[in-house]
Amino acid sequence: MRFLPVSLTTLTVELADLDETLALFASLEAEPVEGVTDMVPAARTLMIRFRPEKLTAETLAARIVTRDLSARIAPSDKLVEIPVTYNGEDLADVAGLTGLSVEEVIRRHTDSEFTVAFCGFAPGFGYLVGGDPALQVPRRQSPRTKIPAGSVALAGAFSGVYPQASPGGWQIIGTTPEKMWDLSRDPPALFQPGYRVRFVDLAKKTVPAVQRTARIADVKAAGNDKDAVTLNVLAAPMPALFQDLGRFGQTGQGVSASGALDQAALKAANRVAGNPADMACLEIILGGFSFEVSGRAVIALTGAPCPVSIRDASGRAVSAQTYRSIALEAGDVVTLGQAPAGMRTYLAVRGGFAVSPVLGSMSTDTLAVVGPDPVTTGAVLAVNAETKGLSSVSLDETPAFDHPASGEIVTLDVIMGPRSDWFTEAGLAALSEQLWTVTPQSNRVGIRLSGDQALERKDKAELPSEGTATGAIQVPHSGQPVLFLADHPLTGGYPVIGTVAEYHLDLAGQIPVNARIRFRPVTTFADIQPSKS
């Protein structure tokens, strides 16, 4: 085993192959290590998050290194058949790469029985192993910007089905009408780790659709009480999103945590409103948001310091401050101006919003398309009437940091690894010795950066998909890095040169377009050595 640093609370265990990865994963599930909070298995790595107050990375490594990796996972009795129309645009290329005819590629694919090794990349995306070795082909040199949902594809030793339209570099050989991710099922992911999978050629056989099961959650806003206080959205230039502290325990289905990008601001908004700190708020981007309240309410606004204007039913307008509780009367209209610094403002309402959780959280994951619908103009948001668990409003909240403005330089501390050794000395130096500009293509998935000097790799070797953490600085072939934020994919196939320290993630979530980032490594890359105690 090799233990690689990811962040102050995460490490990656590199193993010989997928069998060892799954054996270690099964061992740690059967006999957990106290302090481990999450695990993300991948092709030949296991990413592990832990509580630093419970154990160190070195202690965790020591408790893992003695685990038996000889055990093999027993096959599941669950078999899923996937009907396929073999009409993929890369089918002829796959035939050429393998030296087989198109007909032989299809025959070998349908004759194979696959196993879902793990899920990642997107909700419901299962990495399937056990196919014919002759069908192992590399990813495309130039990934597509959009692959349709239902695309059946190959990459390396894996086969898979894209659950939703997304970018990707796998070789597409066909399409299926089956829904791989469906919130009306329990569980939503059709593929679960350990399931057996067979593909059936629709040109030769008709396969009944997979039976649907009852819905697991109402994903629409709750609160049909006609007497409930509501916020009637009058303007939302950018859709606002419900966010809480995140969606945990769903990595087995390929679902990452998501959650507020500035968690300190979300907690502060709830304290100012007298709510529990983890209650869902609205995350509002770039101001311009406006709403009318139908009855008495107390709200709080934190995060990016936008101007706040309140116009009452008589037309009188007053201003209000962020980080202070704001009492509203029926008919009041609240309008947020554009913040001079920062990116995201958080709106809390005393009692919380009446929204149903999805998979245990009210966060909206923009990449996975999981969670409540985005809030747009015309939306009517009900406020919970329940007062249980509420407390006095906080009077002394302040921002945790000065919010950066466009054009300013923001310094972010970086933990080097897990793939720093994939880069040349010049590439490593370029990470910290230049300023990186935040481009307009940035969003909740990640901050796309542009620099004068690309991050140079030692070679063009392919990295088997492995778990990625929030804050990871992933480097695609262009050498222009992407800083992953809360809605990033659970796994990725490009090397991560370093990861922004957890204590700077809230700051990263507030960096606006055209600001510049200086990465400051606070560690030197080295393998983690298991402690001897």
Asked whether residue 443 is assigned to any structural domain, the reply reads yes
Q: From the DSSP assignment, how many helices (H) and strands (E) are in the chain?
A: 7, 33
Specify the residue for token string 């920062």: 342
Q: What is the pLDDT of residue 98?
A: 97
Average pLDDT over residues 27-39: 94
Average pLDDT over residues 473-483: 95
Tell me the three state secondary structure of residue 53.
Answer: coil
Q: Does residue 420 have a pLDDT over 80? A: yes
Q: Does residue 41 have a pLDDT over 70? A: yes
Tokens of 171: 């070789």
Q: What is the pLDDT of residue 217?
A: 34
What would the 3-class secondary structure string for 248-277 be? Answer: CCCHHHCCCCCCCCCHHHHHHHHHHHCCCC
Residues 243 and 333 in one domain: yes
Q: What is the pLDDT of residue 225?
A: 61
Average pLDDT over residues 77-106: 97
Average pLDDT over residues 312-318: 95
Q: What is the pLDDT of residue 533?
A: 67
For residue 316, give every residue at least 6 positions away whose Cβ sits within 8 Å of its Cβ, in sequence order, or none: none
User: Which residue has better confidence, 273 or 208?
Assistant: 273
Specify the residue for token string 């009692």: 351
What is the residue range of 48's domain? 2-64
Residues 243 and 374 in one domain: yes
Tokens of 224: 């049909």
Q: Which tens digits make up the pLDDT trace of 369-406?
A: 899 999 999 999 999 988 788 999 999 999 999 999 99
Of all residues in the chain, what percent carry a pLDDT higher than 70? Answer: 96
Residues 162 and 257 in one domain: no
Residues 96 and 195 in one domain: yes
| E strand segments, 294-371 | 297-303, 308-311, 317-320, 326-328, 333-336, 344-349
Q: What is the pLDDT of residue 71?
A: 74
| Rounded-to-integer distance, Cα 468 and Cα 472, Å | 6
Of all residues in the chain, what percent carry a pLDDT higher than 90? Answer: 81
- Considering its fold, how many domains does the chain have in total? 4
pLDDT, mean over the chain: 93
Q: Does residue 86 have a pLDDT over 90? A: yes
| Rounded-to-integer distance, Cα 227 and Cα 303, Å | 31
Q: What is the pLDDT of residue 218?
A: 35
Residues 476 and 354 in one domain: no
CATH code of the domain in which 113 resides: 2.40.100.10
Q: Does residue 338 have a pLDDT over 80? A: yes
Residues 374 and 240 in one domain: yes
Final residue belonging to a domain, choices 201, 221, 250: 201
User: Which residue has better confidence, 212 or 256?
Assistant: 256
Within 10 A of 107 (CB to CB), how many other CB atoms are there? 14
Sign of CA dihedral 200, 203, 208, 214: positive
| Rounded-to-integer distance, Cα 441 and Cα 447, Å | 8
Asked whether residue 225 is assigned to any structural domain, the reply reads no
Q: What is the pLDDT of residue 112?
A: 97
Q: Which tens digits make up the pLDDT trace of 202-238?
A: 998 765 554 433 333 333 344 456 678 999 999 999 9
Residues 58 and 85 in one domain: no
Residues 243 and 378 in one domain: yes
Residues 137 and 238 in one domain: no
